[in-house]
Structure 1
Amino acid sequence: MAKEQKSTSNAHTTGSKGLLKWIELLGNKLPHPFWMFVWITVFIIGLSAIAAFLGVSAVDPGTGVEVMAKNLISGEGLRRFLEEMVTNFAHFAPFGLVLVMLMGVSVAEKSGLLPIALRTMAFAVPRKVVLPVIFIIGACGNIGSDAGVVIVPPIAALIFMQMGLHPIAGLIAGYAGATAGFTANFFIAGTDVLLAGISTDVASRLDGSVEVSATANWYFMIASTLMLGIGGAFVASRFTIPGCKNLAIGEEGVQAFKDKPQLSPLERKGMVYAGWAALAIIAVVIALVAPANGPLRNQETGGVVPSPFLRGLVPILFFFFAIPGYVYGKVTGSIKKPDDLLKFMELGMKDLSGYIVLMLVVAQFINLFSWSRLDTILAINGAQFLEASGLTGPVMFTLFMMIVAFLNIFIGSGSAKWAIFAPIFIPMLAQLGYSPAFIQLMYRVGDSITNCVSPLYIYFPLLIGWVRKYDKDVGIGTILSLLVPYSVVLFVMWVIMLFVWYWLGLPIGVGEGIYL
């Protein structure tokens, strides 16, 4: 631990000023994320014992059941921890997703396909367009659940390198787009279906004819995706790119091209063959999804949302990167024998070794926090505080989104929080004439915007690992100081857009308005 403290004290900084400077300085004094999660876990265990002793509880508004704090310092708590510690780690949902996804990406990257393709794209598209596109792709990545958080940041880093910019700036921009904009999308995603189901269940108790569809927020979310692209590009240009100039380059290096690099005949041939391989994969997927009775459609409803296609998007993306990467490697000679493919995947796992170690303690923290029921009690009390405030109109809307954003730092599951908030706020605001779809929309804004600045977010350790691949001395405070402008600026822009929508009375989705 002393060694870690020494490295953070000599951490490279961005040279930020004002509040961002203090965030950076204070954040860099934090210990390594592994130890940070260890101490937070110890705190939660102790707090659970105190809360259980004092009889802390809250009534779940959805079920009417009293939720009691559970003492983790007990025989039951000890037994459960020992019996489930390995299971918590092995079955931690993001763990497998990250490993599978990045093994496929590693093949495409190490074979040379991904750098060549991104370099070509970087020079084919104007820089003013590249930045918004990165954020739009990051936001739309949530159609595959968390796939966007895993795939967009490292690709954005490579794009930035090909543009002569610091790769850490690309990592930060890609991560912010995929997390702060998690709920926005051009398409209907699993989040729309999940939240709409909860909203419908609560709203139907008030009026059996009310149903919140998966398209209830679609129009607003399409506009939000464009807004995030513009706002994210502004923050990247104004804060992130200048802030990363003081950071070390690292062994990966930044290769700036004054002139467009020329592809060799072999590289061009490899790109063509890899392109055909990618098109073949796309054709196969379309053939499995497009027909009404396609095997990757929902076998009960025939729909695409939800469906095996969306749930299996990560394995599909694995093949989409790995197969063209292998074809490119065989054509160009970077892959000479089948075992080279395994070597590339192993190199990808080597880059993730720090993340794997961190997940051991992160998985325990999340499960212990859930076992203690403190997460549920915290969310219920936050909702009840807002209900008791007696505020209405835009002031209440803003406070509602701010409380959701604050709780989102500690409680990652959006559906779990909405299951608590919906039974309180849908009936309360329905009495004022607001539609359940609009209430759900406000919740989604607050639930999304602080993902990027939460050190407790399950993918934050992955971002740290990526950043330290380029500069091993970058501290947590530096990373947070680069992310905070995204959270603040995008939240302000999102709230302003929502109020404009509200004052103009525009439809927020298919057949849905702001009022009942």
Structure 2
Amino acid sequence: MGTNGKVTTPKEKSSSFLDWIERMGNKLPHPFWMFVWITLFIVFISFITSFFGVQATDPATGEIVKAQNLISGDGLRRFLEEMVTNFAHFAPLGLVLVMLMGVSVAEKSGLLSVVMRNLAFSVPRKVVLPVIFIIGACGNIGSDAGVVIVPPIAALIFSQMGLHPIAGLVAGYAGATAGFTANFFIAGTDVLLAGISSEVTSKLPGVGEVSATANWYFMIVSTILLGVGGAFVVTRYTIPRTRRFSMGNKEEIDVPDTHTLTTEERRGLKHAGIAAIIIIAIISLLTIPTWGPLRNQETGGIVPSPFLRGLVPILFFLFAIPGYFYGKATGSIKHPDDVINFMGEGMKNLSGYIVLMLVVAQFINLFNWSRLDTILAIHGADFLQSSGLTGPFMFTLFMTLVAIINIFIGSGSAKWAIFAPIFIPMLAQLGFSPAFVQLMYRVGDSITNSISPLYVYFPLLIGWIRQYDKKVGIGTVISLLLPYAIVLFLMWLALLFIWFWLDLPIGVGEGIYL
């Protein structure tokens, strides 16, 4: 019952909760200043923890990890000597810049708009929404490329459907982050985590290595599940909450009455299609044959390989070159220098993100230098180990702990290197396979990516959104993303429990039990 005697429905309660999250979150300072204050806090805590001798034992190496004092001569020298390097070598920055320069050519030439308009008209909405999430999840085959490319494309699709582009940005970002580990294909994440798991199992008698396909069956079903769950959230929460936003300096949403192409557009698509086919054929020729130079030169495999590591440059050409030929055919590109101007316009929209990355890069490196990230993860694992819980309760607590720590430590492989030596042997004593432990870790490690303000691509999402509505704050963005984290986590948990109770195989040759 409400205070006036009116019955409050669950939908109204959830809306009120999200409104509260929005109000509280919007009281936070600009992300730049937020990271400045968090960085200063980490520096201060490093001094306190170092003074009191806070430490932890790394389960993988037996090394004593001690908190390092950043308020020291060594800390000051390292900061001044490496501040520029931290920023210049910050991997997400280069990935974003390269990726979006290629996308800018395809977008400014008009190619993306035409493709997305036809997609919006030719595919039913009930199919489009799940597909956005599925593509976002599968984007992790190229590491973080999906986080960079899916949200702006989803915004274009939503715009052509008559929906606010911010809803598309949020949906695309949620799919690419909360569903990061799910995929129809074997990706670099599978290989990386399996390598760490196998290193641990090599020291356990009677336990074999963990292959890259160890979680494949479960992740295929998870991808479909996330598509359905994501479509539910975007329809029920995201679209209604974004109707009140303005369009800012962007054009008003104008949905054509028809998706019929003009003569110029048809000619442009033909030229762009031919260019794309040629590029794909060349990349295929360099990758598919066993002698292909883009295969792993030691193993001959594709996962991992130069093809996957170079997926961002490949996507750059796959957007920029067809975009150029489309523009030449339609007249939107009259001179080769127009391509440079298109790229420059794309970079203008990223100026705020580039400035923000200066302080984000320092925060991540200082946190790492202090060793507080490792100590936090080790003590969190020790707490869970000492809880004495088993079965579904332990599964839930384990994944929840990983999800919470993931808000502060973004690197999935770094956390697994800490957790694996603790939980693989511990749960092996209870009869659970290392592949199943790895599976639970992957679920927890993905789900809070979307709502973490410390996630390196979160500022990029804010920058995109503020191109439409400059009044949107951190709280508003988190209130839009929180339903995805909650709903998808609950659905993922339910799927895991069903899999557990039915004792289904989770991957090729792998089950839940040893």
* TM-score category, normalised to shorter length: over 0.9
Q: Distance in 2 between matches of 1:28 and 1:136?
A: 30
2:58 touches 2:64 (CA, 8 Å); kept in 1? yes
2:164 touches 2:253 (CA, 8 Å); kept in 1? no
Q: Distance in 2 between matches of 1:466 and 1:381?
A: 37
1:17 Cα offset (Å)? 2.9
1:293 Cα offset (Å)? 1.2
1:261 Cα offset (Å)? 3.2
Corresponding residue number in structure 2 for 1:452: 450
Task: Give the letter for the 1:104 counterpart.
Answer: G
Q: Counterpart of 1:406 in 2: which secondary structure?
A: helix
Q: Distance in 1 between matches of 2:474 and 2:331?
A: 40
Q: Distance in 2 between matches of 1:109 and 1:176?
A: 22
User: Number of aligned pairs?
Assistant: 503
The counterpart of 1:395, out of the listed 375, 390, 393, is 393
Q: Which runs of 5+ in 2 are unaligned?
A: 1-11
1:296 aligns with 2:294: yes
Corresponding residue number in structure 1 for 2:137: 139
Corresponding residue number in structure 2 for 1:9: none
Task: Give the letter for the 2:365 counterpart.
Answer: N
Q: Distance in 2 between matches of 1:115 and 1:146?
A: 23
The counterpart of 2:368, out of the listed 370, 373, 398, is 370
The two structures, once aligned, show a CA RMSD in angstroms of: 1.2
Task: Give the letter for the 1:393 counterpart.
Answer: G
Q: Counterpart of 1:453 in 2: which secondary structure?
A: coil
Describe how 1:9-28 pairs up with structure 2 within 5 A. 17-28=15-26
Corresponding residue number in structure 1 for 2:109: 111
Task: Give the letter for the 1:412 counterpart.
Answer: G
Describe how 1:285-364 pairs up with structure 2 within 5 A. 285-364=283-362
1:475 aligns with 2:473: yes
Corresponding residue number in structure 2 for 1:175: 173
The counterpart of 1:495, out of the listed 470, 493, 496, is 493
The counterpart of 1:507, out of the listed 500, 505, 508, is 505
1:167 touches 1:254 (CA, 8 Å); kept in 2? no
The counterpart of 1:415, out of the listed 413, 416, 422, is 413
1:208 Cα offset (Å)? 6.2
1:405 touches 1:450 (CA, 8 Å); kept in 2? yes
Q: Counterpart of 1:58 in 2: which secondary structure?
A: strand
1:15 touches 1:243 (CA, 8 Å); kept in 2? no
Which stretch of the first structure deviates more once superposed, 247-256 or 388-397? Answer: 247-256
Corresponding residue number in structure 2 for 1:148: 146
Corresponding residue number in structure 2 for 1:244: 242
2:57 touches 2:378 (CA, 8 Å); kept in 1? yes
Q: Distance in 1 between matches of 2:497 and 2:256?
A: 44
Q: Distance in 1 between matches of 2:455 and 2:325?
A: 36
Describe how 1:60-75 pairs up with structure 2 within 5 A. 60-75=58-73
1:232 touches 1:486 (CA, 8 Å); kept in 2? yes
2:35 touches 2:360 (CA, 8 Å); kept in 1? yes
1:216 aligns with 2:219: no
1:507 touches 1:513 (CA, 8 Å); kept in 2? yes
Q: Distance in 1 between matches of 2:263 and 2:14?
A: 45
Task: Give the letter for the 2:216 counterpart.
Answer: W
The counterpart of 2:383, out of the listed 359, 365, 385, is 385
Which stretch of the first structure deviates more once superposed, 101-110 or 240-249? Answer: 240-249
Corresponding residue number in structure 2 for 1:434: 432
Q: Distance in 1 between matches of 2:253 and 2:86?
A: 41
Q: CA offsets per residue over residues 57-78 of structure 1, 9 Å max, x none?
A: 0000110110000000000000
1:160 touches 1:166 (CA, 8 Å); kept in 2? yes
Describe how 1:85-124 pairs up with structure 2 within 5 A. 85-124=83-122
Q: Which structure 1 residue ranges, 4+ long, deviate > 4 Å from structure 2?
A: none
1:196 Cα offset (Å)? 0.2
Q: Counterpart of 2:68 in 1: which secondary structure?
A: coil
1:297 touches 1:303 (CA, 8 Å); kept in 2? yes
Corresponding residue number in structure 1 for 2:53: 55
Corresponding residue number in structure 2 for 1:36: 34
Q: Distance in 1 between matches of 2:78 and 2:435?
A: 39
Q: Distance in 2 between matches of 1:133 and 1:226?
A: 9
**Identity score, percent:** 75
| TM-score in terms of structure 2 length | 0.97
Q: Distance in 2 between matches of 1:15 and 1:473?
A: 25
